[in-house]
Chain A
Amino acid sequence: MATTEVERRRGQLAALSIAVVVIVVGVPLWWKTTETYRAWLPVSQINELSNLQLQLSADVEVVFARGTVTPEQQKKVPLTRTQDEEHSVDEDTALRYRYETRYRTATIMEEDALDQPTAAEADLSLHTLSECPCGSLVVYVIPESSSLLPQDVDVYIGQRRTALLRIGGQIRVGKTLDLLLAHLEPRIKQVLQVMSFSHTDITAALSDRVRLSPGNKESIADSMRTFKSSPGYEITFSLLNPDPKSHRLHWDIEGAVQTYIQPLLTKLASVANFSIDSQTLYYAMLGVNPRFDSSLGAYTLSPDSLAHMINPVEARLGSNAASSNPVLNFLLYVPDAQHSPLHIHDSKKQEVPTNAFHSPRWGGIMVYNVDGFYGPEAVFPVDLNINMAKVMGVFLAQLRLLLGVQSPNAPSGFLVAPCSRTGLADWELDRLMWSRSVENVATATTTITSLAQLLDQIGNIVINDNIAEQVSSAVTSLQLAVAELEAGNLRFALQYSKEAILASERAFFDPSLLHLLYFPDDQKFAIYIPLFLPMCVPILLSLLKIVSDARQKRREKQAKKD
């Protein structure tokens, strides 16, 4: 009796200890070893960023020239004025535009500069006087009687960051200062919208965050045409010669790129890196047959056929395989001798003066006719030099369009100075920097928030340390970029926004984040049950037995007591 009792006790102790070991040691061990490594992410900061409140600040300096304000008014001119404009784009995004306007009167040297005969010369001499920092503007208010601007033009926009504004006829100098300022305010805002940023540009730049219902056709075309913001671009210039037997073409592409294209790209260096290469393709035919128009004595291409020209050529263009940057292709096509001259006609059957067309987010093609350079008695192949200035003029215009530097449609009464030799005015660069900064910030915030959502939803993706580091650095750069935009430091804002985008893209597209671990619940049970059930059943049964024995004993004790 005693031995069975001892044995039973021993059995109970054994079962209990096994159960204790399994629960206390085994279960935590299994939990720990099947856990996926997830480094810590700044989730709260990411959630803050998903609600984007952007403030863009622009500084304007308004300089009153002689003849616009009376000497008494000069003393009463307020020094600064700040204006805020709030726009709510959608429930997660809000914009605020802050315009800080400083008023002062012109110095003697500036008055001398404004005495020049034409607006362009005045602009030039004003530049030499002061350097305007990036992101700010100077508006010179000149009297109505001034002869700088032609009759129907009220505003002249210079090549750097200055504008000349002529006071309208309805304001006499004798009127009060308040009326004068009130008259000037909407006009200065108009100038700002042309030279700095306008609401449509900024909302277009936010398209990654906010899928707006399409506005007018022009804005859709603009957004489709411009390349998205990217840290680098590849530009390829190709010369297509379908008829080397007749034409031996020479183009000084290196010199042309150095003289005409490189200044623009150097100016845009803060926006993106550019790499340029060039090639010549022989026997590259058009995919379309041009029709001969006897009235013009030339071959014509209608606008419908232009769309089919690109595909046959693209297969032969090749690309720089080393990077994943977007490629801009510029093709110069010299028609063969049988199909010269070749003109592109627009939809109204008019000849296009540039003889070129471009395709959104791809590049441009120009047709260069050489039949005028040799007569019928020439010995083939003819040596021909291509006029690179004309060609590069067209390519530069197309490059500006594709990069998003296109001049906005200026309102009536505005005269915009022609492009400088770099092909880019300073205020155009500012516009580009503003829209790029906003675009980068918008894209980076969406990337980071969607990455955080993804990692949250899928519980068994491994988050390595380097991903957490990239995410943290992206969040920090984003916060800095938003702060710099608020302060109005455009260059720093762009730099931080670029860093933010690089870090966020690197984190999102990290190869280790691939989720291949889709386990539906029934598969999970199917894996664990054959492993754990045979082990758990005896333990459970013995535990139950112990419990029932203990209960029986208690009942016996109670019965004994009674």
Chain B
Amino acid sequence: MKILGLLSLLATHLSANSVNIEENAGQFFSSGHTNNWAVLVCTSRFWFNYRHVANTLSVYRSVKRLGIPDSHIVLMLADDMACNHRNPKPATVFSHKNMELNVYGDDVEVDYRGYEVTVENFLRVLTGRLPPSTPRSKRLLSDDRSNILIYLTGHGGNGFLKFQDSEEISNVELADAFQQMWQKRRYNELLFIIDTCQGASMYERFYSPNLMALASSQVGEDSLSHQPDLAIGVHLMDRYTFYLLEFLEDIHPASKSNMNDLFKVCPKSQCVSTPGHRTDLFLRDPGSALITDFFGSVRKVEITMETVNLTDPIEQVEQNFVNEDLQKESYSYVDQLPVSEIIHQGLQLVNNNPGLSHPHLSFTGQSVCCRPSSISSI
């Protein structure tokens, strides 16, 4: 009897193990992607649009925390809030009131900043039609096995999104850009999130396969902002992205939550607007797509079973001392700027103004901002 019980236990254990292996193998093949990219765009400038920069930075922070490296993130911020002259806490961008969470952090790599964030540059990044001199960090070097997350935020309307308060991108242009990406197989699956007023109009015209889209509000509705901070004086975040950030804070790289959970983020009771989503162009079932398929970067790995038997000894690399008689010029440093003197003079200026509470140096009109550590140790 005991033996039977033990045997049955063993059998179930073995079958459970094999099911696990099968599941893991199935996971390997179900998503079909090998790398992840993220394109995060904030399209508005001016200090009162602080919340759009905070939106983008909070998504950036989540995406980095879940594993996507900076080399695979294209971050476009249309204005600099952290070093804005009106920011009472420079080098910070807060997402929660009472300054609970600083989404700017120490490790932000902005690829397109200020006036570089234009419709033209955005479309160039998506389609890959960049001038040859563009560095790697500003390119979207995705291939046919990349999952891309695209996040747009700013001011929008029915069928358009405003860039820098002076130009617009229409939903038709966006759909055409995605179609060109599909033609060149620049993505495996694409998740498009937009947090603007009437955001659902932006994904109405998509027609390429393997796209999933989420928007913070339907056509005719406005997306509202969340909460102002009285010390900073502006609204800090938009509602949809605020609750999205809260949802993402619970996700860790090994988490198994899927897209259906993402669709439930920010219901009408919290968001006031009705978030919408579109999955008809997505070939897989959204329930089988994990959050980390887009927001994180879980690598597939395979154990290396083979090795090549190398028996030759290492050849010594011959050093060529051919040009011995060529006299090597002795190099010396050019006279540097007297930086220490500059900093000392600047500090004296600061010390004479007790009203300033942060190490904001100014010397001949240039400012050194965004160094939260004090330089008083010099």
Contacts and interface: CB of A to CB of B under 8 A. Distances in A.
Contact of B300 (A307, A321, A520): A307
A423 B310 CA distance: 9
Contacts of B301: 303, 306-307, 310, 357-359
B253 A393 contact: no
5 tightest Cβ-Cβ pairs between the two chains A and B = A311-B67, A450-B183, A255-B314, A356-B304, A396-B308
A550 B129 CA distance: 60
A225 B25 CA distance: 15
Q: Chain B's interface: helix, strand, loop or mixed, by majority? A: loop
A235 B230 CA distance: 52
A368 to B, nearest CB: 13
Given A389-B310, A397-B308, A515-B176, 13 more contacts: A208-B144, A255-B314, A259-B312, A260-B310, A307-B299, A308-B253, A308-B299, A324-B141, A357-B301, A509-B127, A509-B129, A518-B170, A518-B176
23 contacts: A221-B28, A221-B29, A259-B313, A260-B312, A304-B254, A308-B253, A308-B299, A310-B299, A319-B136, A323-B136, A352-B303, A352-B304, A356-B303, A357-B304, A359-B302, A360-B300, A361-B34, A362-B34, A389-B312, A509-B129, A510-B129, A511-B130, A520-B172
Interface in B274-319: 297-317
Nearest to B170: A518
Given A228-B143, A514-B127, A516-B120, A357 B302 contact: yes
B111 interface: no
B71 A314 contact: yes
Nearest to A396: B308
A254 interface: yes
Nearest to A263: B312
Given A311-B67, A324-B136, A518-B170, A423 B308 contact: yes
Contacts of A526: none
Interface in B13-30: 21, 24-25, 28-29
A398 B21 CA distance: 23
Contacts of B143: 228, 326, 361
A359 B129 contact: no
A35 B127 CA distance: 25
B298 A307 contact: yes
Interface in A526-547: none
Contacts of B303: 303, 344, 346, 352, 354, 356-357
Interface size range on B against A: 35 or more
A393 B141 CA distance: 30
A221 B30 CA distance: 11
A319 B135 CA distance: 11
B229 interface: no
A354 B67 contact: no
B316 A255 contact: yes
Nearest to B121: A514
A259 B313 CA distance: 8
A319 to B, nearest CB: 6
Contacts of A252: 314
B228 interface: no
A300 interface: no
Contacts of A304: 24, 254
Q: Which of B71, B129, B185, B301 has the most CB of A within 10 A?
A: B301
Interface in B154-191: 170, 172-173, 176, 180, 183-185
A388 B314 contact: yes
A389 B130 CA distance: 42
B72 to A, nearest CB: 9
B317 A255 contact: yes
B241 interface: no
A258 B319 CA distance: 13
Contacts of B25: 217
A366 B71 CA distance: 23
Interface string B212-238: 000000000000000000000000000
Interface in A237-286: 252, 254-256, 258-260
A298 interface: no
Nearest to B252: A308
Contacts of B137: 321
A453 B259 CA distance: 34
Contacts of A389: 310-314
B169 to A, nearest CB: 9
B35 A398 contact: no
A359 B299 contact: yes
A332 B139 CA distance: 29
Contacts of A259: 312-315
Given A260-B310, A361-B145, A311 B69 contact: yes
B112 to A, nearest CB: 16
Interface string B338-372: 00000000000000000000000000000000000
B118 to A, nearest CB: 10
Contacts of B97: none
Contacts of B300: 224, 307, 359-360
Contacts of A447: 184
Nearest to A388: B314
A257 B173 CA distance: 48
Nearest to A254: B317
A303 B28 CA distance: 13
A255 B299 contact: no
